[in-house]
């Protein structure tokens, strides 16, 4: 703390004594809205390549706004590693940002022709044109002129939905003059309504004049434009977040009312979101892989985990290699790859092999594989997956280690995550496919709950944890949070204080009391089924003030059966057997029961869905529904 405040004082001090120098980059101003004209000389096309270096590491800012309000959504939009984003912004990968939160996105900026750019692929959404992509989706981080200039085949003013375009994001590297003054970064800051140089410079702890000078002394600032912030050090989330609310009282006694318990819970979630993630990622390596630290009873070892995080050098190569040998002993079926093999398989982890997040597509011995880079404990996932051989659970085939990261090699599911298919990017699943997928997931979960020894809870069932193979059969993946119920009293229930998971999918008893049981997965399965039926993201369905099943039953009660039609994913049109929809709705309702005991066992859901599937197949045949 003291160190940081003296550091910012130092930065402030440094900037106070800057001598005015000539402007470095022109401010884009209102040219962003003047699409038809290129504005060659006013940086409408981008910041000029006038820096000391032709490329540099820098940071863009972005204001979280649905649907881009989670680390994963923002990382996907900017094609950057979610792990890097979550680390840099000091948040967990799964907890959503508040709307309008200033998020930093690390990018590599380099000269492309006359202009600095960070080029990112983007799939055009329905109804978007260049102006909307530049101003609304990317919030001014690019301009319609730059997008148009980038297009290969003019006239390309009309772009089509699902077309993949390259988006040149506005970034810049310091000029020689700036470098000489100690400036190492020019952060592309997004101006918002009401911003002044004073406000912005205070946010970043720099001198207002230095910001103004770096941008050609603009007189007026306009929202949805970029302003370069000259910085010595990478920006810090500490600078840009308001002081946190006073800490919640320690949860020693059980909360009295459900309202206060919720308040407590959200506060805890907020406070622990990042910590819990870091705990998962960091501390277990420390405790289990290295096995030098004695076990502690209290699971909330926040400071411990931060220490673990700050000392990655303790995870030495040798120890990790020992661990590799150790796991290959237990897991005979698991191949230990030389990292060179994985580099070869993924073309050196090139962008063309990148799938999503930290997952790459590789070709090993002619077979496709998914290779996931992980900085954290993998022993649980390995211990679990090596015991499982089930067609509805993703198969782990190998592992590798390099420079502090683990690499897990999985079977390749060519149709990718279910979320890509239900939230409709021009992709579409038939009714019967949806039921088949639901049945596959239920079967996989039933296996985990009842046929592994000890039994397991997945704890992170959601549409992006379900992968689809070439035949649209589902495989459960993302076992990073899974845990066994071994050693728990009654074999089924346990308590935890690590609240980790995905908001909206987490069962109330888990969020409120940390109760872990297979019924968590049943709840999440209900949410998943609801998403599959409606084509709507849980983020949209979730209302933190209202339990999902209440909201859901209210809709059904108010509007009766007719409303079912309104609920259905419009991409299915009329092509679904309305007589079966009621049954599925009833499963959803029972899975979303507040009382975990009232939720069905996965086994019952499997039986139910198998009947629904066979009826649906009959319906499909007799109605000649095309797939």
Ligand X SMILES: *[C@@H]1O[C@H](CO)[C@@H](O)[C@H](O)[C@H]1NC(C)=O
Residues labelled as active-site residues: 460
Measuring CA to CA, which residue among 464, 456, 478, 455 is closest to residue 408?
A: 478
Report if residue 40 touches ligand X, rule: CB under 6 A: yes
State which residue, 81 or 488, has the beta carbon closest to ligand X. 81
State which residue, 52 or 126, has the beta carbon closest to ligand X. 52
Structure tokens at 614: 């066979």
| Window of 168-176, 281-289, 318-326, 424-432 that interacts with ligand X by CB under 6 A | 168-176
- Residues 598 and 590: beta-carbon distance below 8 Å: yes
Which residues, in sequence order, are CB contacts of 371 under 8 Å at separation 6+? 342, 345, 346, 359, 360, 361, 362, 407, 408, 409, 410
Residues 240-279 that bind ligand X (CB under 6 A): 271, 274
Helix H, strand E, coil C: the string for 80-101 is: CCHHHHHHHCCCCCCCCCCCCC
What DSSP letter does each residue of 559-585 carry, written as one string? Answer: HTTHHHHHHS-GGGTT-S-HHHHHHHH
Per-residue string for binding with ligand X, 129-148, x by CB under 6 A? --x---xx------------
Size of the site for ligand X (CB under 6 A): 34
Among positions 125, 126, 238, 546, the unique one binding ligand X when judged by CB under 6 A = 238
State which residue, 178 or 436, has the beta carbon closest to ligand X. 178
Report if residue 402 touches ligand X, rule: CB under 6 A: no
CB of 218 vs ligand X, minimal distance in Å:
16
Report if residue 224 touches ligand X, rule: CB under 6 A: yes
DSSP H or E segment with residue 120? strand 115-123
Phi, psi of 354 (to 5 degrees): -75, 130
| Window of 51-59, 194-202, 447-455, 460-468 that interacts with ligand X by CB under 6 A | 51-59
Report if residue 496 touches ligand X, rule: CB under 6 A: no
State which residue, 276 or 482, has the beta carbon closest to ligand X. 276
Measuring CA to CA, which residue among 519, 409, 508, 417 is closest to residue 459?
A: 519
Report if residue 11 touches ligand X, rule: CB under 6 A: no
Which residues, in sequence order, are CB contacts of 32 under 8 Å at separation 6+? 44, 134, 135, 140, 143, 144, 222, 224, 225
Report if residue 175 touches ligand X, rule: CB under 6 A: yes
Phi, psi of 625 (to 5 degrees): -75, 130
CB-count burial class (<10 Å; 0-12, 13-18, 19+) for 548: buried
Among positions 5, 6, 108, 162, the unique one binding ligand X when judged by CB under 6 A = 108
| Window of 152-160, 197-205, 453-461, 604-612 that interacts with ligand X by CB under 6 A | 152-160
Report if residue 610 touches ligand X, rule: CB under 6 A: no
What DSSP letter does each residue of 425-438 carry, written as one string? Answer: SS----HHHHHHHH
| Window of 173-181, 226-234, 259-267, 394-402 that interacts with ligand X by CB under 6 A | 173-181
Among positions 179, 513, 553, 610, the unique one binding ligand X when judged by CB under 6 A = 179
Measuring CA to CA, which residue among 276, 336, 277, 282 is closest to residue 314?
A: 282
Sequence length of the chain is: 627
Among positions 7, 8, 12, 53, the unique one binding ligand X when judged by CB under 6 A = 53
d(CA 22, CA 69): 38
Phi, psi of 386 (to 5 degrees): -70, -20
CB-count burial class (<10 Å; 0-12, 13-18, 19+) for 248: middle
Evaluated on CA atoms 345, 348, 350, 355, the torsion sign reads positive
Report if residue 45 touches ligand X, rule: CB under 6 A: yes
State which residue, 265 or 468, has the beta carbon closest to ligand X. 265
Report if residue 174 touches ligand X, rule: CB under 6 A: yes
d(CA 212, CA 473): 56
CB of 513 vs ligand X, minimal distance in Å:
22
Report if residue 564 touches ligand X, rule: CB under 6 A: no
Residue 34 CA: distances (Å) to CA of 72, 144, 195, 208, 481: 32, 9, 22, 28, 49
Among positions 237, 383, 513, 610, the unique one binding ligand X when judged by CB under 6 A = 237
| Window of 155-163, 286-294, 527-535, 616-624 that interacts with ligand X by CB under 6 A | 155-163
Report if residue 457 touches ligand X, rule: CB under 6 A: no
Report if residue 46 touches ligand X, rule: CB under 6 A: no
Burial 353-363 (b: 16+ CB within 10 A, else e): bbebbbbbbbe
Report if residue 203 touches ligand X, rule: CB under 6 A: no
Among positions 184, 239, 424, 553, the unique one binding ligand X when judged by CB under 6 A = 184
Report if residue 154 touches ligand X, rule: CB under 6 A: yes
Report if residue 56 touches ligand X, rule: CB under 6 A: yes
| Window of 169-177, 209-217, 308-316, 571-579 that interacts with ligand X by CB under 6 A | 169-177
d(CA 580, CA 614): 11
- Residues 235 and 187: beta-carbon distance below 8 Å: yes
| Window of 149-157, 383-391, 425-433, 444-452 that interacts with ligand X by CB under 6 A | 149-157
Residues 58-87 that bind ligand X (CB under 6 A): 80
- Residues 377 and 408: beta-carbon distance below 8 Å: no
CB of 570 vs ligand X, minimal distance in Å:
24
CB of 235 vs ligand X, minimal distance in Å:
11
Residues 336-365 that bind ligand X (CB under 6 A): none
Binding positions for ligand X, rule: CB under 6 A:
21-22, 24, 33, 38, 40, 45, 52-53, 56, 80, 90, 106-108, 131, 135-136, 149, 154-156, 158, 173-175, 177, 179, 184, 224, 237-238, 271, 274
């Amino acid at each position: 703390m003291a160190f940081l405040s003296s550091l910012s004082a130092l930065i402030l001090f440094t900037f106070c004594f800057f001598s005015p120098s000539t402007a470095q980059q022109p401010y884009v101003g209102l040219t962003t809205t003047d699409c038809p004209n290129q504005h060659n000389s006013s940086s409408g096309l981008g910041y000029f390549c006038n820096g000391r270096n032709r490329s540099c590491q820098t940071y863009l800012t972005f204001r979280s706004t649905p649907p881009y309000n989670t680390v994963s959504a923002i990382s996907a939009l900017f094609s950057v590693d979610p792990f890097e984003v979550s680390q840099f912004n000091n948040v967990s990968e799964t907890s959503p940002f508040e709307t309008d939160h200033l998020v930093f996105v690390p990018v590599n900026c380099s000269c492309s022709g006359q202009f600095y750019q960070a080029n990112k692929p983007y799939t055009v959404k329905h109804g978007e044109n260049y102006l909307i992509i530049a101003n609304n989706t990317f919030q001014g981080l690019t301009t319609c002129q730059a997008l148009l200039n980038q297009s290969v085949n003019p006239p390309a003013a009309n772009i089509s939905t699902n077309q993949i375009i390259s988006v040149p994001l506005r970034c810049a590297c310091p000029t020689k003059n700036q470098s000489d003054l100690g400036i190492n970064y020019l952060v592309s800051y997004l101006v918002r309504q009401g911003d002044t140089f004073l406000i912005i410079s205070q946010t970043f702890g720099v001198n207002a004049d230095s910001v103004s000078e770096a941008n050609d002394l603009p007189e007026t600032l306009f929202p949805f434009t970029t302003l370069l912030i000259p910085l010595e050090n990478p920006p810090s989330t500490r600078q840009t977040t308001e002081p946190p609310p006073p800490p919640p009282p320690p949860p020693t006694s059980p909360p009295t009312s459900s309202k206060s318990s919720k308040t407590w819970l959200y506060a805890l979630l907020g406070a622990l979101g990042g910590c819990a993630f870091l705990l998962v990622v960091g501390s277990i390596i420390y405790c289990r892989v290295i096995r030098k630290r004695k076990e502690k009873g209290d699971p909330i070892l926040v400071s411990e985990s931060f220490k673990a995080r700050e000392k990655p050098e303790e995870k030495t190569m040798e120890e990790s290699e020992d661990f590799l040998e150790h796991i290959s002993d237990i897991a005979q079926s698991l191949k230990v790859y030389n990292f060179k093999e994985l580099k070869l398989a993924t073309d050196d982890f090139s962008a063309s092999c990148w799938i999503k997040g930290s997952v790459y597509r590789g070709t090993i011995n002619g077979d496709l594989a998914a290779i996931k880079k992980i900085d954290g404990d993998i022993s649980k996932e390995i211990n679990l997956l090596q015991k499982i051989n089930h067609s509805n659970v993703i198969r782990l085939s190998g592992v590798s280690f390099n420079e502090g990261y683990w690499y897990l090699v999985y079977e390749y599911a060519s149709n990718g995550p279910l979320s890509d298919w239900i939230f409709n990017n021009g992709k579409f699943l038939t009714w019967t496919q949806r039921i088949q997928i639901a049945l596959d997931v239920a079967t996989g979960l039933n296996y985990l709950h009842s046929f592994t020894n000890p039994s397991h809870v997945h704890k992170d069932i959601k549409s992006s944890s379900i992968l689809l193979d070439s035949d649209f059969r589902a495989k459960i993946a993302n076992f990073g949070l899974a845990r066994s119920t071994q050693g728990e009293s009654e074999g089924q229930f346990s308590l935890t204080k690590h609240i980790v998971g995905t908001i909206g999918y987490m069962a109330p008893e888990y969020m409120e009391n940390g109760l872990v049981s297979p019924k968590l997965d049943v709840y999440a399965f209900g949410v998943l089924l609801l998403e599959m039926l409606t084509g709507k993201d849980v983020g949209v369905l979730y209302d933190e003030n209202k339990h999902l099943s209440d909201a859901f039953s209210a809709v059904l009660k108010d509007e009766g059966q007719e409303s079912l039609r309104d609920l259905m994913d419009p991409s299915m049109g009329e092509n679904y057997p309305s007589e079966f929809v009621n049954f599925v709705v009833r499963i959803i309702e029972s899975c979303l029961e507040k009382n975990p005991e009232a939720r069905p066992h996965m086994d019952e859901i499997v039986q139910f869905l198998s009947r629904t599937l066979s009826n649906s197949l009959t319906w499909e045949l007799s109605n000649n529904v095309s797939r």
